[in-house]
Amino acid sequence: IADTYNPDDDKIYFFFREVSWEGNDKSIVSRVARVCKNDVGGLRSLTNKWTTFLKTRLVCSIPGPDGVDTHFNELQDVFLLPTRDDKNPKVYAVFTTSSSVFRGSAVCVYSMMDIRAAFNGPYAHKEGPDHRWVEYEGRIPYPRPGTCPSKTYDPRIKTTKDFPDEVVSFIRFHPLMYRSVHPLTGRPVFTRVRVDYTLTQIVVDRVMAEDGQYEVMFLGTAEGTRSPRDVLSLRQNILDPAPTPILSMEMSSKQQQLYVGSSEGLAQVSLSRCHLYGQACAECCLARDPYCAWDGNTCSRYIPEEQRVLYGVQSNSTFLECIPKSQQARIRWYKQRPGSERLEEVRLDDRVVHTARGLLIRSLHPSDAGAYVCMAQEHSDFTHTLLRLTLQLVTHGQLDGRPKPSEDPAVELRHGAESRQRYKDYLRAMSAPVGTLEEYCDSLWLEKRPSRVRGKGLGVGKWKHIQDMKKSRNRRHHRERKDNVEKQERAVRTAEE
């Protein structure tokens, strides 16, 4: 996973569980570790071994009322859900308890930003008579242990073999970070306790349903059941049981298929099973399956329509039209800012006004740009999306269409003066009688001609030939132009001499 735009900073992440000793206490903990992709080992120490390996603890627990948390210590599976930012995918992880008395499973969601923050934090160090892990407060060598070798940071350190000995020695005895990584929500998003199965596999699909975006989890168990789980509406739907444990699961969002592997073979399951919800609209809606929607006749796979784009000019007004079909529906507007995945309800004030036919923005600000969603809520709490569009803002600078200023002010000033003078000459020529414009063009060409002569000029014979061709096209001014031509020829000969 890339940390920055520099490919030398790319890191490989590992998720695993291991036995940890703290004093005389032995426990199983879950870890996330990372190592630089360009790590080739040390020169004198840690030869052919990683010199950038760091690890920290993954915490998945339910806070207790008395301050004692219920921990799910054993990591079973991990799934990375891509986001708009390739450097920050969501991390879904399945955990189980290590206690033989209390049996349960949980799913926790982590942010890559929180994981990076833990690796950029303090190191752990064993100290005291009972050898407890404490925060290391001593001197940290340069470059910081765990940093990838890159010419951007230090041209002298091109590979991990160029690390100073004290850096390699430090990371050899301090591979553990002091701060742990906690879930985004502070607790699991899904738990199953006191049941006859344990969760072992997970894949996640992001679905655009009629009433918004959902993240659907497909969970596999050691007992062989497969279940999709909707994170937002907190519901579960068991698809069908299998007699053997699930060993692996892969998903194809493009094909809309889930592939489940066991010791008996490979099974292919469609992500959408809308035909199971009956032939009635109420049954289809009450199923609350984000893959399905009522199309007027049957419960079928929901395919989102293309998103509309609306352009607005800064400081001008714009109107987002959204008319509900039901007179009893309550309209709510939500906004998704660029680069964010969270929907926020639009705040109404004197500038942003909600009308019976839509949303009126009287004066557009740059912060108004983003995706807008118009949702209708019935009295039965049934919510569906009426409109989804993207508002893009056109600023005043884009409307001006001014050319990029020159880096040299003198050049820009000279060009501006020449443009103004030629414009004045053009207006004078256009206001003169017919034929003057052609004379003006000839004289302008001749004014530029002497400055372009460098030792060899245009032959007089060729010049006369051009003038003769022009004379044949305009007989009325033959006599006056002949005098002018003779003067101009003398000027050309003088310049050539």
Domains of the chain: 7-74+110-186 (2.130.10.10), 196-304 (no CATH), 308-398 (2.60.40.10), 433-496 (no CATH)
* Cβ(219)–Cβ(94) below 8 Å: yes
Give the residue from 262, 283, 260, 284 showing the smallest Cα distance to 271: 260
Q: Which position has the higher pLDDT, 359 or 486? A: 359
Give the confidence band of 484 by pLDDT, cuts at 50, 70, 90: low
Listed ranges 299-303, 425-429, 471-475; the one with the highest mean pLDDT: 299-303
Please give the sequence-ordered ranges of beta strands (E in DSSP) within 69-135, or none if there are none. Answer: 70-71, 74-81, 90-96, 104-111, 124-127, 132-135
pLDDT at 158 over 80: yes
54-58 sheet: strands from edge to edge: 11-22, 25-36, 54-58
For residue 11, the cross-strand partners are 36
**Which of 140-149, 181-190, 219-228, 290-299 comes out lowest in average pLDDT?**
219-228
**Residue predicted with more confidence, 187 or 448:** 187
Mean pLDDT value across residues 245-268: 87
Q: Does position 465 have pLDDT exceeding 90, yes or no?
A: no
Q: What percent of the chain has pLDDT over 70?
A: 74
Q: What percent of the chain has pLDDT over 90?
A: 38
Q: How far apart are CA 404 and CA 412, in angstroms?
A: 11
The pLDDT of residue 89 is above 90: yes
168 Cβ neighbours under 8 A, 6+ residues apart: 42, 44, 45, 46, 51
pLDDT category of residue 334 using cuts at 50, 70 and 90: very high
By C-alpha distance, which of 68, 52, 45, 56 is closest to 16?
A: 56
> Which tokens in the block code for residue 134?
């404490």
Residues 143, 153: contact at Cβ < 8 Å? yes
Identify which has the larger pLDDT, 490 or 157.
157
If you average pLDDT over residues 67-87, what whole number do you get?
91
Report which of residues 352 and 302 the model is more confident about.
Answer: 352
pLDDT of residue 143: 93
Paired with 34 in beta bridges are: 13, 54
Tell which wins on pLDDT, 224 or 106.
106
Q: Residue 51 above 80 pLDDT?
A: yes
Q: In the prediction, which pLDDT does 359 show?
A: 93
